Chains A and B, each alone.
Chain A
C-alpha cells in the first residue's frame, strides 16, 4: 500500500481543487479526504452517515408498511384471497438466497478488514451473483403475474376477474367450469400448466372455506353436490360477492407490486453498488486501512435483506 500511496499522492492533489496549506499526506491512506484528519475519523463519519441513511430507508418503507396495515385491517378478505395467487416456493427460495448473500457480504467486510484481497473479490462476486438470482426469481414471478393479468388497479384485467368469479361459483355448484375467454388466452399465451395452477388455487380456496365452515376434516374432492351447495349457502357466497372479491384482487396486487417493486429497486441499487465494489476490489483498492465502501454497502445490503424478511411473511404467508 505504501508504494501505492506515494504514487497516488500527487495524483490526488491534482484531482482535487487547489488547496492552500494542505498537510502532506504522508502516513495517510490515499483515500483520506482533505477535510478529515485521520482514517478513523473518516470511517466513523461514513458509518454514521450510512446508519442515518438506513434509518431514512426504514422510514421510507414504514410508510408503505403503514399503508399495508391500514389496507389489510380494512379489507382482510382481500389479502386472504390475494395471497393464494403468490408462489410461496419462489418467495422462500428468494428468502434463502438473500440470507445467504448477507452472510457472504459479512464475510466480504471481514476479508477487506484483513486485507485478504482474493477472498474479498470472491465473497463480493458471490453476493453479486445472489443479487442476480434474486432478480431472476422475481422476474419469473412477475412474468407469471403479468400473464394472469394479476396487475395493480386499472391495469388489472377485469374480464379475468369475472371469469374467476364464475369459476369459483361453478365449482361450488358442481357445474362445468367456464373456460378463460379466448381473447385472454390468445393474447397472453396461456400455458396449460398455469391453467392447472389456477385451478389448484381455486381448489385450495374452497378447501379453506370448508375448513372455516366445518373443520379441516373434510376433503374437497369427496364432497357431494349437495354438500357444495350447502357450503355455498352457508358462506353466503353470492355471485356478486364473488365478483366483488375477485375485483378486489387488483387492489391486493397494487400493494403487492408497490412493496416488492420498491424492494426490487433497492436490490438493483445494491447490485450497482456491489458491481462498483467488485471492480474496485479487482483494482486492489481495499485493505485494512481503507474498507469504508465495503462496510457501508454491507450495511445497506443487510437492510435490503431484512426488509425482504418482513415482506415474505406479510405477503406470502397469510393464513
Chain B
C-alpha cells in the first residue's frame, strides 16, 4: 500500500509517469502487498472475483461427486461420505459463492464507478471484509481437513449439536462471512447515500445501484440474526447451554425460525443484485431505454422488504400452527408481484429493441427463461396443500437451483462478461461465448428439469438411495445388492433411476460448460483484443472512463446523465466501441 517516495527508490507510478506510459488501477503498482493491502475498491473487487470463482469450482467439484452418487448409489462412495458431499456443496456454494459473488465481486467494482465516485465510503472496511472472506475460507478448508460436515448446509439443531463432524469450524467460517457481508452492506448503503454526484438524484441512479442498495438493506438487517444464531449453536455444541436442546427445555424449532429469518432474505441477497445486472444488460444490449424504470427500482426495495416476512414457509411441516402457515403462505405469494413486475419490464424493454445477441445478452435471456420457471415453481412450494406433497423432495432442489443457478449464477456470468472489458481491459472471443451459453442452457435444463419430475413423484431430497426408486415390474426377475435372485412384485416408481442418470449426465456437461467459461475468459487476458472505453454502448458512468479505469476512477469528474439514454452513442468501427456525440 505504502509507496516509497524517497528519491533513491522510484515507484512504478513515478517510472511510468516519466516514460509517459498510460497507467491504470491494475499496473500502477505491481507489488504483491499493493494488492493484499489495497484500499482500492476495484482491486478488492477483482480479488473477490478470483476468490468466489475459486469457491465456485470447489462447490462444483462437490456437485459432481453428489451427482456421481445419485447416478449409481453406493457404487463410488459410502453413505456417510455422500452426506458430507452434499453438505459441503451447499455450504461452499451458498456462503462462499452465491452470497458474496455479485455484491462483493461485481458490485464492489462497479458501484463507485456507476456513481462517479473515487471509492466506496469506507475503503478500509471494504478491504477488511475481503480479509474476513479469506479467513472464513481458511475455516472451510480446515473443516474439509477435519473430515467435512454432514448436517446439510442448514445446520439444523439438534442434529448439528450431536454429530461428530466438524460443525464448529464450518459455523465459524459462516459467522465470519456474515460479518464480511454486513460490512459490505454498510459500505454500499453509505456510498449510495453520500457519494453520489449532486446532479444524480435517486431516480437517476442506474438500476444496478438500486439493486445493490436493496441487497445491502437485507445484508445489514438479516445477517446479524444469523450471526447470533450460529454463536448460540456453537455455544450449544461446546457448552451445552440448552437453548435449542429439548432435553434441556430448549426449542429446536426456534433454531429453524432464527436460521430462516436470515436465510430466506438471503436468497434475495443472491437474486436481487442478479436482477440489477439483468436490468443493465437487457437495456444496453437491446439499445433501448429500460421500460418502467421506477417500477423496477421500487420493486427491488419491495422484494427486499417483503423478503423479511416470509421465512415461516420453511416451517410448514415443523409444528407451525395452521393460521401462521396460512399467513406466511399469503405473504410468500405477494413476493411474486414485484418479481413479476421486473420480468414484465425486461420483456417490454426487449420489445422492439435492437437486440444484440452478445454473450451477456444470451445469458440475460437464459436468466429470464430459467428464473421465470424457477419463480413459478416456487408458487407450488408456497401453497400449503401442494407443499405437503413436495416438501423436502427433489422438487425443492430443482426449484432452488432454477432460481439460484438459473437465476443468480447466470446473471453473475452475464455480469462478468458485460464488465469484463472494463475490469481487465481485454475483450473475450465472442463466438465461443455464445456457443458455451447455448451448451450451458441445454445442460442446465437436462440437469434440473428431471428433478422436478422425480420430486413430484416423491423422490426425497438428500437421499442417495431410496427403496422406491428401483422399479420392479411384476414377474420380472432381478438381482438384489446381495446377489440374490428375486422376482419383481410391481413395487417402486418407474423412471426415477433413469431420470437421475439423465440429470447426472446433464450436471457433468453443465460443470464442463462453466469450466469452459473460466478458461476462455482467462485466455482472453493474454490473447484478447484491447477493449475500447465503451464496447457495448452503455450510458452509465463506468463506460465514460478508460478500460481498465485509472486508479482514481475518472480522469475528470464525469457528468451524470440518464443512465439508459443511448441516443447520443454511436458505434465507431475504427475503435471497436461506442463514442458519445454531443448534440
User: A: which residues have CB within 8 A of B?
Assistant: 13-22, 33-35, 41, 44-45, 48-49, 52-53, 55-57, 59-64, 66-67, 70-71, 74-75, 78, 151-155, 248, 250-251, 254-255, 257-258, 262
A-B contact pairs, 25 of them (CB 8 A): A18-B11, A19-B552, A20-B552, A34-B118, A45-B193, A48-B189, A48-B193, A52-B189, A56-B223, A59-B225, A60-B224, A62-B224, A63-B232, A64-B228, A67-B243, A71-B243, A71-B251, A75-B249, A153-B236, A153-B245, A153-B248, A154-B239, A254-B240, A255-B241, A258-B243
Which of these, A15, A41, A155, contacts B2 with CB under 8 Å? A15
Name the A residues within 8 Å of B194 (CB-CB).
41, 44-45, 48
B254 on the A face (CB < 8 A) = yes
Distance of A21 Cα from B3 Cα, bound (Å): 16
Closest to A58 in B: B224
Q: How large is the interface on B (under 10, 10 to 19, 20 to 34, 35 or more residues)?
A: 35 or more
Which of these, A17, A21, A155, contacts B40 with CB under 8 Å? A17
* B551-A19 in contact (CB<8A): yes
Given A16-B39, A52-B185, A63-B261, 10 additional A-B pairs, CB 8 A: A17-B40, A20-B552, A34-B118, A56-B220, A62-B228, A64-B232, A71-B249, A155-B239, A254-B240, A258-B231
Distance of A34 Cα from B222 Cα, bound (Å): 32
Name the B residues within 8 Å of A70 (CB-CB).
251, 254
Knowing A41-B194, A57-B224, A63-B229, the reply to whether A254 touches B239 (Cβ < 8 A) is yes
Closest 9 CB pairs of A and B: A254-B241, A153-B240, A63-B228, A154-B240, A18-B13, A251-B242, A60-B224, A35-B118, A59-B224
Most buried by B among A20, A48, A254, A257: A254
Name the A residues within 8 Å of B414 (CB-CB).
none
Name the B residues within 8 Å of A22 (CB-CB).
552
Closest to B118 in A: A35
Distance of A293 Cα from B64 Cα, bound (Å): 50
B121 on the A face (CB < 8 A) = yes
Name the A residues within 8 Å of B118 (CB-CB).
34-35
B429 on the A face (CB < 8 A) = no
* B2-A14 in contact (CB<8A): yes
Distance of A170 Cα from B343 Cα, bound (Å): 73
Name the B residues within 8 Å of A78 (CB-CB).
249
Closest to B191 in A: A45
Knowing A152-B241, A154-B239, A251-B242, the reply to whether A17 touches B1 (Cβ < 8 A) is yes
Taking the closest CB of chain B, its distance from the CB of A252, in whole angstroms, is 9
Knowing A20-B552, A67-B243, A262-B231, the reply to whether A248 touches B225 (Cβ < 8 A) is no
* Mask of B1-42 contacts with A, CB within 8 angstroms, 1/0: 111010000010110000000010000110000100011100
Chain A at the B interface: mostly helix, strand, loop or mixed?
A: helix
Which of these, A20, A33, A67, contacts B258 with CB under 8 Å? A67
Taking the closest CB of chain B, its distance from the CB of A79, in whole angstroms, is 11
Name the B residues within 8 Å of A33 (CB-CB).
123
Distance of A22 Cα from B118 Cα, bound (Å): 11
Closest to A251 in B: B242
* B117-A152 in contact (CB<8A): no
Closest to B125 in A: A49
Closest to B248 in A: A251
* A63-B242 in contact (CB<8A): no
* B221-A254 in contact (CB<8A): no
* A152-B235 in contact (CB<8A): yes
Name the A residues within 8 Å of B40 (CB-CB).
17
* B23-A250 in contact (CB<8A): no
* B39-A258 in contact (CB<8A): no
